[in-house]
Amino acid sequence: MPFGAFINVLPPAVFLVIHAALAVLGLMLWRKAKGAGNAAAARGFWLFVIAEILYITYHLDLTTFLFAHTLAEVSDALAFLSIGMGLAPKMG
């Protein structure tokens, strides 16, 4: 049995709550970045919210795991890139 198989005993509702909470956090950060006038960071946090919604589609049985996970990972990668680009000028 591979490591982590214990997670399979958790009901899907647990994962829905986790992803919903992360989506809410992303929305809060999106509003904060948008209010600060940092469009790139705001776009990144919006992409993070989209990724969380994609994860939720799997737990609701609307998509397959690989489909949702692949699209969510691409969205997360673009989010990290966008947030980094939005913060880079302020770091230098």
Domain housing 66:
37-92
Tokens linked to 2:
């591979």
**Distances from the Cα of 67 to the Cαs of 14, 48, 60, 63, 86, in angstroms?**
21, 17, 13, 7, 29
**Distances from the Cα of 1 to the Cαs of 4, 48, 91, in angstroms?**
9, 32, 45
* Total number of domains in the chain: 1
Q: Which amino acid is at 83?
A: I
| Inside any domain, residue 78 | yes
- Quickly state the pLDDT bin for 2 (edges 50, 70, 90): confident
pLDDT over threshold 70, residue 38? yes
- Note the pLDDT tens digit of each residue in 40-82: 999 999 999 999 999 999 999 999 999 999 999 999 999 999 9
| Inside any domain, residue 59 | yes
pLDDT over threshold 70, residue 1? no
| Inside any domain, residue 9 | no
Mean pLDDT across the chain: 94
pTM for this entry: 0.89
| Inside any domain, residue 64 | yes
**C-beta atoms surrounding 10 within 10 Å:** 10
